[in-house]
Chains A and B, each alone.
Chain A
Amino acid sequence: MEQDKHIVKSYDDEMKEINNNILDIGSLVENQLKRALNALKNQDTALAEKVIEDDNIIDEKFRQLDQNLVLILGKRQPMAMDLRTIFSAIKMNKDLERLGDHATNIAKRTSMIDLVLPEKPVRDILRMGEHVQIMIGKVIQSFVNFSAEEAKAVWNMDEEIDDEYLGILRQLLTYMMEEPKRISACTNLLYMVKDLERVGDYVQNIAEDIYYAVSGEPLYNDTPDRQWEVIKPLKKK
């Protein structure tokens, strides 16, 4: 992000480092999800295990950035746009770390399951995964450009992700009802699709944080959780 320089040069350096840290974690998380989905696509257990192992790198970077953020708050007592940026970075850091956990969850399930997976839902999950990856890329780009407009556009994308999630959820429930022997495979896919849906939510949170950092105005998500629309009809009458 480009802003006028601070009088104290080291303050600029510290802010720049925080930006770089966020971008670094962002691109690592993006790559983790990409590899987790590839592992699912090819049922590649070795790749899945590598993804699980590499989550430590993200956790370590998260802790380091967390410390840097506390330090800059104490040292610089930031105000206005700087304060909003640091406040948002604290939340973004946490959300990115959680996002990495969800990528790892997908990899964990891939490494554990030794089952024939139904093709259609897997294809749909992979397509949803691509959309989520696009969201992650765009949200990182909106941070680089420090653009509230771009962040809001990403924020709006989550609705499509939720639609895809509900569609796959319905599909999996139908598969399980029709063919109970697929329950085990479908349950694993159910968890994965939920992980992707949560990733979408975290990206939406990050978009909210960027929007606030840039504009000073909050962007709230008060839409109801629609997954109950799918689950409710299954309730015993």
Chain B
Amino acid sequence: MSNIKVSTKNVNVHYGTKQALHQVTLDINEKEVTALIGPSGCGKSTFLRCINRMNDLIDICKVDGSITVDNEEIISDEVDVVSLRSKIGMVFQKPNPFPKSIFDNVAYGPTIHGIVDTKSDLQEIVHSSLKRAGLLKEVKDRLHEPGTSLSGGQQQRLCIARAIAVNPDIILMDEPCSALDPIATATIEELIDELKNKYTIVIVTHSMQQAARVSQRTGFFHLGELVETGETQKIFTNPDNEKTQGYITGRFG
């Protein structure tokens, strides 16, 4: 039985007067990949952004309900959002390396969070993060070239290396492969497979096949509601809900 890493209960999100999420209750298991699927505008990315309080950055966005990470409530003004986000890394749809060198992209997080004391410690973290992100071999001789000089797939792995450099527990991925070609996508999927041994991963994806390939559990969102959640194998072969069936078989969306 897996431990529950993130637990959400009756989460509602409003953008102004528009309600984007309705009473979402979902448990996310530790060191597993949980995939969130659903048509555009169904609320899956909004939900993902609740987990690291990214929605705080949007003025009109209001989140209520309960979200716990390691049994600690995070929907509270008293929570230190910066420290929360150091525990929860995020990777976005479009690779977004800083306009800095490859080395500095990865070194940035550990430096500002004060994780390292010495230069050699920093070097060690940068190397190990790039290695875990499966990028070290390809970039070890050009660490001081700009991150933006890498290919799209490499840039995305650089962003993953940047996310894991601050030693998070959880990695949120918002359609991490949608801008990548199939080979770069396969590399990221292989990486996700490895990363799940150490991290809890939540991935939003538009590719049903990707969700089926990389995740152990899947949640299907529709019109702001979590319609169905369960083992990925079950969801993709024999879902309980007709809406899930209709969406994953390409009958509505």
Chain B residues near A (Cβ < 8 Å)? 208-209, 212, 236-239, 244-246, 248-253
Partner of A8, one of B208, B212, B236, B250: B250
Closest to B244 in A: A80
In the complex, chain A residues whose CB is within 8 Å of the CB of B238: 80, 84, 215-217
Chain A residues near B (Cβ < 8 Å)? 3-8, 11, 76-84, 215-217
In the complex, chain B residues whose CB is within 8 Å of the CB of A215: 238
- Measured in the bound complex, the distance between the Cα atoms of B240 and A81 in whole Å is 11
- Measured in the bound complex, the distance between the Cα atoms of B253 and A188 in whole Å is 59
Closest to B250 in A: A6
**Are B249's CB and A82's CB within 8 A?**
yes
- Measured in the bound complex, the distance between the Cα atoms of B137 and A181 in whole Å is 81
In the complex, chain B residues whose CB is within 8 Å of the CB of A78: 249
- Can you list 18 A-B pairs, Cβ within 8 angstroms, ordered by A? A3-B251, A6-B251, A7-B250, A7-B252, A7-B253, A8-B250, A76-B250, A79-B212, A79-B236, A79-B249, A80-B236, A80-B244, A80-B249, A81-B249, A82-B249, A83-B237, A84-B237, A84-B238
In the complex, chain B residues whose CB is within 8 Å of the CB of A3: 251
Partner of A216, one of B209, B237, B253: B237
Partner of B246, one of A4, A76, A83, A216: A4
Interface centre among A80, A215, A216, by most B CB within 10 Å?
A80
**Are A4's CB and B237's CB within 8 A?**
no
Across the A-B interface, give the 5 residue pairs with the lowest CB-CB distance, nearest first. Answer: A216-B238, A79-B248, A4-B251, A82-B249, A6-B250
- Measured in the bound complex, the distance between the Cα atoms of B237 and A79 in whole Å is 6
In the complex, chain A residues whose CB is within 8 Å of the CB of B245: 80-81
In the complex, chain A residues whose CB is within 8 Å of the CB of B248: 79-80
